[in-house]
Amino acid sequence: MFGLVVLIVFILLGTVGPLLVGDPYYMDLSLMGRPPSLGHILGTTGFGEDVFAQLCNAVGNSLLVGLVAGGLGTLIAVFVGAVGPYRGGLADRVSNLVTNLALVLPLIPLFIIIAAAVRGLNLVLIGVILAVTSWPWAARSIRSQVLTLKEREFVNLARMSGEGNVRIVLTEILPNMLAYIMMVFVILTGTAILAESALSMIGVSTTRTITLGYMLYWAQHETIVPFWWNIWWWFIPPGIVLTVVLTAFFVIHAGLDEVFNPKLRRI
C-alpha cells in the first residue's frame, strides 16, 4: 500500500502537473542557472528553463515508457512462455529458441543502430524496444510453471471434457499464474524506467522529449558554470524522483510476493 500510494502521487504529478505549470521548453536567457526561488521553486536550467515544469513532464513521460515496456513485455513473456510449452514438441522448441535468442540481444548496440536509422525516437518506440529486450527471463519462469501446471489433475479434466488448448491455457492455466504475472509487470515497468533513464544519460535514447534521463543528460552536458555539480538543483530533483519511483516499484513487488507466496504469507 505504501508503494501504491507513492506511485499514485507521482502518476498525478506526471498527469495533472503538466497542466498546471508553464511550458517546459520555454527559455528565459536572463534566468540561466538560477537556484530555487519563489518564482521557480526548483530553480532554472542552464538554458533558463523551469526545472519544476520539466520535472512534471519528465515523470509522466518516464512512466509512459515504463507502462508501454512493462505491458508489452508481459504480454510477450506470457505468450511465448505459455503457449509453446503447453503444446509441447516443435512449438516448445521454437519458443525456447526465440527466448534464447532474445536473451543475448544487446540493448545498447540495438539502441545505437535504431537511433541512427530512425530520425527521431519517440517514447512509444523506446517502450517497444525495451519490451522486446526485457521479457526472456520472465518467459523462462512462466515456461517452467506451465510445464508443471499442465500435468495437474484439473487440466487433465478440462481436456477430458473437450475444451480446446487455447481455452485451457486462458481459463485454467493463466489464472493460476496471475499473481506471478502481476509481479512480472511490476518488475518490467520499473526496470524499463531505469533502463530508459540510463540510456538517455549516455545519449543513445531520446534527447528531444523530456524524461528523467533527459534531464540528467542535459544537466551533465550543458551548463553555464565550470562544473556541472555546482548547478545541483538541475540534476538532484530528477535523481531523487527516479530513486523514489523505483523504490516504490520494489516495495510493491515485495508486498505482492508476501501476499501471493504461501510460504511468506504464513510467516
Each residue's pLDDT tens digit, 83-124 = 888 777 888 888 888 888 888 878 778 877 877 777 667 888
24 in Cβ contact with 57 (< 8 Å)? yes
> What pLDDT does 96 receive?
86
Write out the three cell numbers for 202.
549516455
> What pLDDT does 47 receive?
81
At a CB cut-off of 8 Å and minimum separation 6, what does 81 contact?
A: 95, 99, 138, 139, 140, 141, 142, 143, 146
Write out the three cell numbers for 222.
550543458
The length of the chain is 267
> What pLDDT does 71 receive?
94
Q: Which residues of the chain have pLDDT under 50?
A: none
Domain 2-266 has CATH 3.40.1010.10: no
Half-sphere exposure of 43 (CA within 13 A, CB side): 18
pTM for this entry = 0.84
> What pLDDT does 225 receive?
53
At a CB cut-off of 8 Å and minimum separation 6, what does 38 contact?
A: none
- CA–CA distance, 1 with 6 (Å, rounded to integer): 9
> What pLDDT does 263 receive?
64
> What pLDDT does 9 receive?
92
> What pLDDT does 264 receive?
60
- CA–CA distance, 131 with 109 (Å, rounded to integer): 16
> What pLDDT does 243 receive?
92
> What pLDDT does 59 receive?
93
The count of other CB atoms within 10 Å of the CB of residue 23 is 12
pLDDT in tens, 189-199: 999 999 888 88
Beta bridge partners of 44: 50
